[in-house]
Amino acid sequence: MGTQNDRRDFLKQGAAATAGLFAAGTAMGQSSESGASSDKYQGQGGTYPRMHPGTGGPVGSPTDRGKLVPGLRKAGEPPVNVIAPDLKTLSGKIVNGAREFHLQATPTRREVLPGIWMDAYGFNGQFPGPVLEMYQGERVRIVFRNDLPEPTTLHSHGLELPISMDGIPAVTQDLIQPGKTFVYEYDVHQEGSFFLHPHVAMQEAIGMVVPFIVHPKVAFEPAVDRDFVLMTQQFSMLPNAQIPNTISMDWNFLTINGRCGPYTTPLVCKLGERVRIRFLNFSTLHQHPMHLHGHTFWVTGTEGGRIPETAWIPGNTVIVGVAQSRDVEFVANNPGDWVLHCHMFHHMMNHMVSQVGPIIRQEKNDPGFEVPGYPQIMKGMSSMKMEGKHAGKMQMEKANDYSMPMTMEDMKKLTDRRETQGMREGWYKGVKGLFTVMRVLPPDLYDKLMTTDDPIPPNSSTPLDPHHA
């Protein structure tokens, strides 16, 4: 659980912030208060009720379904910093005229669900690697060290760069051997959402990718208040294993920013903000139709950059293909806790089962021991007794309940996070696999959640009674 200072830093990256990269320095920009106090936006298409869901200006107008409705920031400010729940972000520093980043490829261990760990490859101690941010028109320098037990490279996926910097073993460069360093340096004239990844077979399937975000020097209008990065991946882990099986095509762990729902940290924004979500799909085999409840968004960008506003596509589901990115924008005008998920049915489950959380398996010397296959069908869960080494586990009340037995310590990892405070009790039962939650909070609740340590009772953001105002 983050500290109060952590949450205040998070707050600076969002709605009330005009944070941007200092083009000549090392730090991210500072925040400033700005905003629209009116409940309505008066534009070319008429009056747009900002705080009422499902309405907008006339069809085809600039305010149709919130298309060009501004958020709470003033125009002409630099882009806000991206927010990547469960991942670090790096802005690098300017060294000899280039924005310099340091990446280290290492074996990495990560808890993808409470009590379930995965041993993989990553960058700077995590997978996916940290999000890198820079400005269009800058020169980038990536000092890349290989501390893996095998050779690797680093490919800048989608970037137009000199051939010597493309990172293809044998074709454009020699393999980077363990313990060696290679410096990638080139001018970046594009903007958009990109990937950095090895171009060595199967290393991508074991976690190795870095989100690479290139901002325009001046924020696109209307400027967004909140800019989220969500990286999707898929892995195959055999029963009782902790290392992904890179040659298997039976995918059973689907992650957002390195975690499976309900362990994914919710996206938190303030009612009335304009929000961008960058979906980057680095799954090895599958596309993901990413669906947001309660809002209509516009598809505004791809891995090729910004789409002209005349070609924006409205919707609530966008298909993100393998090695593709899609940017969507919307006005967060519908308060509550809204799920955001892939709509491929088997991707809405952990381990290809309908339950959530760690699976309890018998020891090999137990009577009736069977290694579950795929899909891993769990039977008789309602009658399972929690004894011996499973003492302290939570027992399911019924077989069709979406929860799984887990330790109280594991359960606290889900419920003690500050970003989940005020949600409905048992919310985690409906969040599985490639799932997260988009929280749209009234200003008073948002400020209490993100800037204080005050307790927030359950059901504060989504009423129990559907008729409750």
The CATH number assigned to the domain holding 92 equals 2.60.40.420
Asked whether the beta carbons of 456 and 429 are under 8 A apart, the reply is no
Closest CA to 217 of 187, 196, 186, 189: 189
**DSSP β-ladder status, 98-113 and 93-95:** antiparallel
Q: What is the pTM of this model?
A: 0.83
Confirm whether 124 is domain-assigned. yes
Q: Measure the CA–CA gap between 432 and 403, rounded to whole angstroms.
A: 10
Q: Which two tokens stand for residue 310?
A: 């005349």
Confirm whether 184 is domain-assigned. yes
Domain that holds residue 106: 88-223
Name the amino acid, one letter, at 349: M
pLDDT of res. 13: 47
Q: Which two tokens stand for residue 410?
A: 């594991």
DSSP assignment letter at 130: P
Name the amino acid, one letter, at 136: Q
Phi, then psi, of 148 in degrees rounded to 5? -80, 165
Q: How many domains does the chain contain in total?
A: 1
Closest CA to 72 of 222, 201, 174, 193: 222
Burial 433-467 (b: 16+ CB within 10 A, else e): bbbbbbbbbeeebbebbbeeeeebebebbbeeeee
> Reduced to 3 states, what is the DSSP secondary structure of residue 294?
coil
Confirm whether 208 is domain-assigned. yes
Q: Measure the CA–CA gap between 361 and 404, rounded to whole angstroms.
A: 12
Q: Measure the CA–CA gap between 284 and 235, rounded to whole angstroms.
A: 8
Confirm whether 359 is domain-assigned. no
Q: Which two tokens stand for residue 259?
A: 């975690």
pLDDT of res. 16: 40
Asked whether the beta carbons of 277 and 291 are under 8 A apart, the reply is no
* Maximum separation of any 2 CA atoms in the chain, in Å: 73
Beta strands in 31-124 (DSSP E): 40-43, 46-49, 82-83, 89-90, 93-95, 98-113, 116-123
Q: How many CA atoms lie within 13 A of 92 on its CB side?
A: 26
Confirm whether 14 is domain-assigned. no
Q: Which residues pair with 100 in a beta bridge?
A: 93, 141
CA-to-CA dists, residue 53 to 12, 49, 50, 56, angstroms: 26, 8, 8, 9
Q: Measure the CA–CA gap between 112 and 105, rounded to whole angstroms.
A: 19
Closest CA to 211 of 235, 224, 227, 187: 227
Asked whether the beta carbons of 407 and 236 are under 8 A apart, the reply is no
Confirm whether 97 is domain-assigned. yes
Asked whether the beta carbons of 156 and 116 are under 8 A apart, the reply is no
Beta strands in 198-242 (DSSP E): 210-215, 226-235
Asked whether the beta carbons of 258 and 210 are under 8 A apart, the reply is no
DSSP assignment letter at 219: P
Confirm whether 267 is domain-assigned. no
Q: Which residues pair with 135 in a beta bridge?
A: 215
**DSSP β-ladder status, 131-135 and 89-90:** parallel
Confirm whether 293 is domain-assigned. no
Q: Which two tokens stand for residue 262?
A: 């309900």
How does pLDDT run along the chain (469 residues), one tens digit per residue?
444 555 555 444 443 433 344 333 333 332 333 334 456 776 655 677 777 777 778 888 888 889 999 888 887 888 999 999 999 999 999 999 999 999 999 999 999 988 889 999 999 999 999 999 999 999 999 999 999 999 999 999 999 999 999 999 999 999 999 999 999 999 999 999 999 999 998 888 888 999 999 999 989 999 999 999 999 998 888 767 788 877 777 777 899 999 999 999 999 999 999 999 999 998 888 888 999 999 999 999 999 899 999 999 999 999 999 989 999 999 999 999 999 999 877 776 765 444 444 444 444 455 554 444 333 333 333 333 333 333 343 333 333 333 455 678 888 899 999 999 999 988 988 888 889 999 999 999 999 999 999 999 999 997 666 555 4
Asked whether the beta carbons of 82 and 278 are under 8 A apart, the reply is yes
Asked whether the beta carbons of 436 and 429 are under 8 A apart, the reply is no
